[in-house]
Amino acid sequence: MAIETLQTLSYSDGSKGWPSFYTFYPDYMIGMNSYFYSFKGGNLYQHNTNSLRNNYYGVQGSSSITSVFNPKPTLDIKLFKTLSLESDDSWTVTNLNTDLNAGSMASAYFEKKEGEWFTFIRSNENTVNWNLRSANGLGSASVVAGAANATVITFTEPVGSILSIGDAIYAKTNQS
């Protein structure tokens, strides 16, 4: 049984197309003087004027973004490690899923650089997938030194850009 999803579409004269989809259902909506307004049940609403998000006409909703990043999976293998966001503020990603892993990004992890927000994707605890390129294949460490909160690991071969700050490194120990 298919679940039907209803959406409100908006048309733009400038782009001669339908650039936006909304999950709320106004009686009428209009953009005017850099603001977005809608009417519902005879009441006027001005949007994007407070910090409460996804609340339309007293009904709280949630956000979801579904994207296809790899239309040629057999030709172009991708390893996602970061996210950038064009926004006036950072936000929290509570559940990020790929075909191989799951992660999250708290709003406090984002850093603003040149007008955009950046963060690296953190894997959820206890969800290490050993089939991931980022979970193995780093090589042998020649030196491990420093305190537990400032450990420096020197590898015998360069690891390149496969590691990011905050990644977990697991060691295989030889046991007799």
Is residue 58 pLDDT above 80, yes or no?
A: yes
Q: Is the pTM of this model over 0.75?
A: no
pLDDT at 70 over 70: no
Q: Where are the domains of the chain?
A: 8-60, 82-123
CB 145, CB 155: distance < 8 Å: no
**Residue of 100, 92, 175, 96 lying closest to 135 (CA atoms):** 100
For residues 51-75, give the mean pLDDT. 75
Distance in angstroms (rounded) separating the CA atoms of residues 94 and 65: 12
Question: Can you point out the beta strands (E) in the chain?
Answer: 8-12, 17-22, 28-32, 35-40, 43-46, 55-56, 59-60, 82-85, 93-97, 102-105, 111-113, 116-120, 122-123, 141-145, 152-155
* pLDDT (average), residues 42-66: 83
pLDDT at 130: 61
